[in-house]
Amino acid sequence: MAELTSMNWNVSSNRQAHHTDKFYSPELILRRGQLFTVSLGFRENVGSGQNLTFTVSTGPNPSESAKTKAVFQLSNGKSGGWSAELQANRGNTLTISISSPANAPIGRYTLSLQSSFFSGQLGTFILLFNPWLQADDVFMSNAAEREEYVQQDAGIIYVGSTNRISMVGWNFGQFEQDILSICLSILDKSLNFRRDPANDVAQRNDPKYVGRVLSAMINSNDDNGVLAGNWSGSYPGGRDPRNWNGSVEILKEWKRSSFKPVRYGQCWVFAGTLNTALRSLGIPSRVITNFNSAHDTDQNLSVDVYYDPRGNPLDRGSDSIWNFHVWNEAWFTRTDVGPSYSGWQVLDATPQERSQGVFQCGPASVIGIREGEVDQDFDMPFVFAEVNADRNTWIYDSTTNTQMKSSSESSSVGKYISTKAVGTNSRMDVTEKYKYPDGSAQERQVFQKALGKLRPNRLFRATSAESSERDVQKPSISGKFKVTGLLVVGQEVNLALNLKNLASGRKTMTVNMTAWTIVYNGTLVHEVWKDSFTISLDPGEETQHPVKISYAQYEKYLKADNMIRITAVCQVPSEGDVVVARDIILDNPSLTLEALGEARVQKPVNVRMLFSNPLDEPVKNCVLMVEGSGLLRGNLKIDVPNLRPKERSHVRFEILPTRSGTKQLLADFSCNRFPAIKSILPIDVAE
């Protein structure tokens, strides 16, 4: 009787054909809808193996009705479902090609064989989404985009503010050892899986479903997911979100701690980690930054911002405007809302608002957002408001418990929506994908359409910018903060408040100014400076009032965001108050990385870090953290000696490249005076 003696998964050729050869893990990783070959060796000739029956199954309670199990014979010709065909019969070895359907659930599968001479498991494989296959919901036809959005394991995330866009590198590392397996276990730890495992696994054929579950699981709210968020400016028992260089360490730490939430994340950390999970499972994805991003909590498409008469920003009301917010876009078809809404879909893992009782967000069609389709699934009103909400500024006086509207703006939210360009590290602006040009007739039309869908029983919207401009007096003065010196941590901050009298008569005003250090989402940390003065201006007259904030005033309260919010409330008797506000970002000293020699695969190369302490005081507790997929396994943590005032530090370390091509080395330097200084070094690795 023929006995099965060997089973060859042809891992190398199958993985190459399925574009999974970049994964470091040795197992068989396949993409759905595409055939793979296995070779079965027997002790003697078995003919054409007609009586072979295969079974594939995934999940805890596999069933044919849920399509999590399939039983199929060796036959000639493919069916729509799972099938097996004889490719070659060389004496005692049968080479068999097995095909999976293009809509099979993704995940870990077991392959079994039943025959007259062998019954049992042959082994396991992982099945992923297939962006190379037209029949797959995640199909992406453009090869350069596919390379970037599926295969690229390092990237750039934009941060900062509208007048100072900067970038940080991020190591997605989706191919690193164990990362794919951890991303599959994210699905197995979800609330949906815990409630109904069989149903959850059956729905893993759908990228909408998988994306939504991941958006819930990357934050730890509700479900003990991957990352705990913290925007307080204080990060005890965890890491300052600005110190992470990528997702690999976060995901490994989550697994190592028996799946306890990793502390701490902020929006780009959630987005970078979600991007790793999406790309690892084969869903094309990218990271998006929205500057002046609105957080509208009550679906009225307007955000209210408050100040007191002394010029202090107030933490009042639940709405806010973040200097920037980072989310993801994933690429797939939307059979549920209609094919015209296919393509990029917003997924957001930052826990901001509950959706169906859980902190999750998306998928929301980008095309749908541009067209104001706020009644579509999923979470369209929230995402629409993030890029479109009106901004109302109020002066709230706690002594009289009264508030006065100071201004209303319809085009200050949703600026410079950015992502890394395909194939280069330059910034690509995608604002026009989210909305028509600000102020255009189409943009206002879409806004009113969205408003009508959200508030159908209101004839007009009293809070929209057009109508509320009626209840805001035209100001008789204008003001603006101008930067008059270098904005550098460790040095005095120099600005000027420019004021102009727009009226035909003389105006006397009192100006109250404050400066607060903040976290990028507007969380107030501490007041660091204040000033008041009274001034009279003739018609058309302009004046400049200097603002000087010393390092001693702000050093103790500046967070890793390096952000200071400066506000002036200008009070003209018997007229409305005018609020002038500006957020500034201070530059860190530079951190320089250089490779000392040519980088080649499997050949160690030294890298040097240079850092000069710019301060007149020593810096201590200095740590350098380095990572980069394809350049070193895991990450390096190097303790750097204390630096005297103005002292220069040189640190050398060794990396061992494992992959050829352009790779990204990322460094984060932290010490008691500079919580997070970043550097990126692209390294060309030769074969």
Give the up-direction half-sphere exposure of residue 289: CA atoms within 13 A in the CB hemisphere: 29
CB 650 within 8 A of CB 613: no
Exposed, middle or buried: residue 120 (CB in 10 Å: 0-12, 13-18, 19+)?
exposed
- Catalytic annotation, pick one of 19, 136, 240, 267: 267
Cis? peptide before 378, omega within 30° of 0: yes
DSSP string, 636-659: EEEEE--B-TT-EEEEEEEE---S
CB 109 within 8 A of CB 127: yes
- Catalytic annotation, pick one of 348, 379, 390, 561: 348
Q: What letter does residue 377 receive in the DSSP assignment?
A: T
Exposed, middle or buried: residue 531 (CB in 10 Å: 0-12, 13-18, 19+)?
middle
Cα 687 from Cα 675, distance rounded (Å):
37
Sequence-separated (6 or more) residues with CB below 8 Å from residue 528: 515, 516, 517, 549, 553, 554, 557, 564
DSSP string, 132-171: T-TTSTT----HHHHIIIII--EEEEEEEETTEEEEEEEE
Q: Is 561 a catalytic residue?
A: no
Cα 527 from Cα 515, distance rounded (Å):
6
**In 461-559, where do the E strands start and end?**
477-483, 493-501, 507-518, 524-537, 542-549
Sequence-separated (6 or more) residues with CB below 8 Å from residue 354: none
Sequence-separated (6 or more) residues with CB below 8 Å from residue 347: 211, 212, 214, 215, 274, 278, 285, 327, 328, 329, 330, 361, 362, 363
Sequence-separated (6 or more) residues with CB below 8 Å from residue 556: 526
Q: How many residues does the chain have?
A: 687
Q: Is 325 a catalytic residue?
A: yes
CB 368 within 8 A of CB 375: no
Q: Is 18 a catalytic residue?
A: no
Sequence-separated (6 or more) residues with CB below 8 Å from residue 560: 240, 241, 242, 243, 675, 676
Q: What letter does residue 454 receive in the DSSP assignment?
A: H
- Catalytic annotation, pick one of 319, 325, 577, 622: 325
CB 27 within 8 A of CB 126: yes
Cα 679 from Cα 687, distance rounded (Å):
25
**Residues annotated as part of the active site:** 267, 325, 348
